Amino acid sequence: MRRRRPLARAARALGLAAIALWSLLPIAMMALSSFKADRDIFAVPQRLAFTPTLANYVGLAARWGDFFRGLLNSAIVTAGATLLAVAVSTLAGYAYSRYRGRALTFSAFFLIFIRLLPPIVITLPLFPVVNQLRLNDTHLVLILLYATFFVSLGTIVMRTFIDQIPRELDEAASVDGAGVLQIVGRVILPLCGPGMIAVAVFVIVYAWNEFLFAFIFTTTRAKTAPLVVSEMIGAVEGVEWGVLFAASTLQLLPILIFVVLAQKHLMAGLTAGAVKD
């Protein structure tokens, strides 16, 4: 099997190079260009050697104060949606792991069925309702929407993880007189950290990057970072590429670091949410 070693090694190196080029080149081009002066951004051909400048970031701060407010809004919305989604998914995941019953099974099926409804469809009726409740352009509406669109996946993932916690632990606590909420709080919670992190990773990446709902439901005060970046793409006075690269890079950097660090949990969550159901 290992007879053609040099050839196989060369093919493998080529494969790795292709993967790196495909995945990283677009990101690297953007990040590098954010440190380039305009004349270097538009240089033909592109050069790797250039004098780095922070001018684009300075320009971003000077002309697009909105963007930094957007980052703050994104952080608030992401934190809120994540806390909410993880909390309610854990409770429901516990119920679906430990209890059986026809109606309960049907309600679990309902949760999965819900994932098939496209988000854009429900914006039609929600738009007037949200306006009527004066919830448009608030953090709350995005928090609720983002959490809701991930609680069904979150519940499935949590059930898969809680299934692996022995029932004997619940039963021992139950014998000691603990109620259901106490069992969840004292027995399950300390043991299902990996599941909660897996759910959190999904929600964090989604809420930090989401465009459609932010586009439809926010206008000024609660605008998230991706929405501000999209406004920069469509700015009437023509695209300022350097500043746009700076904003895109700042929007991407924290979440990219997070995804790399949370790699294992992300992969575990993706598999628990898709394959086992």
Partner 1 sequence: MTATATAPRPLAPWVLVAPVQLMVGLIIFIPALYVLWLSFQSSSFGQQAVFVGLANYAQVLGDAYFWHALRNTIVVVLVVVHAELLAGLGLALFVAAGVPWRPVVLAIILAPYAVSEVSAVVMWRFLFDPDVGLATRVLQALHLPILEWSVVPADGLALVCLLSVWLNLPFTFVILYAGRLAIPTQLYEAAEIDGARPWQQFRRVTLPLLTPAMLIAMLFRYIFAFRLFSEVWLLTQGGPARSTEVLAVYLYLEAFRYNAFGVAAATGWLLVLVSLVLALWYLRRLYRDMARHA
Residue 134 in tokens: 């004066």
Choose which of 62, 116, 176, 177 interacts with partner 1 (CB under 8 A): 116
The site that binds partner 1 (CB under 8 A) totals a number of residues, namely 104
- Cα-based distances in Å from 97 to 107, 155, 162, 255: 13, 10, 6, 31
Q: For tokens 């957007």, name the residue.
A: 70
Choose which of 63, 65, 109, 189 interacts with partner 1 (CB under 8 A): 109
100 lies in the site for partner 1, by CB under 8 A: yes
Q: Which of residues 28-67 bind partner 1 (CB under 8 A)?
A: 29-30, 33, 41-46
The site map against partner 1 for 129-148 (x = CB under 8 A) is x--------------xx-xx
Q: How far is the CB of 129 from partner 1 (least distance, A)?
A: 8
Residues 6 or more apart in contact with residue 94 via CB below 8 angstroms: 158, 159, 162, 184, 188
Choose which of 10, 26, 182, 219 interacts with partner 1 (CB under 8 A): 26
Stretch that binds partner 1, among 48-56, 60-68, 191-199, 228-236 (CB under 8 A): 228-236
∠ Cα 258 32 266 (to 5°):
20
277 lies in the site for partner 1, by CB under 8 A: yes
Residue from 242, 209, 211 nearest 63 by CA: 242
Q: How far is the CB of 215 from partner 1 (least distance, A)?
A: 8
108 lies in the site for partner 1, by CB under 8 A: yes
212 lies in the site for partner 1, by CB under 8 A: yes
125 lies in the site for partner 1, by CB under 8 A: yes
Verify cis geometry, omega within 30 degrees of 0, for the bond prior to 45.
Answer: yes
Q: How far is the CB of 96 from partner 1 (least distance, A)?
A: 7
Q: Which of residues 237-256 bind partner 1 (CB under 8 A)?
A: 241, 244-245, 248, 251-252, 255-256
Question: Buried b / exposed e across 69-80, counting CB within 10 Å, b at 16+?
Answer: bbbebbeebbeb
∠ Cα 50 51 53 (to 5°):
125
15 lies in the site for partner 1, by CB under 8 A: yes
180 lies in the site for partner 1, by CB under 8 A: yes
Distance CA(108)–CA(115), nearest Å, equals 12
Residue from 78, 115, 110 nearest 92 by CA: 110
Q: How far is the CB of 178 from partner 1 (least distance, A)?
A: 12
Residue from 151, 1, 142 nearest 79 by CA: 142
- In the complex with partner 1, the residue whose CB is nearer, 10 or 117, is 117
Q: How far is the CB of 18 from partner 1 (least distance, A)?
A: 10
Neighbours of 68 (CB within 10 A): 15
Distance CA(167)–CA(175), nearest Å, equals 12
Distance CA(127)–CA(240), nearest Å, equals 32
Q: How far is the CB of 15 from partner 1 (least distance, A)?
A: 6
- In the complex with partner 1, the residue whose CB is nearer, 113 or 189, is 113
Choose which of 4, 10, 27, 133 interacts with partner 1 (CB under 8 A): 27
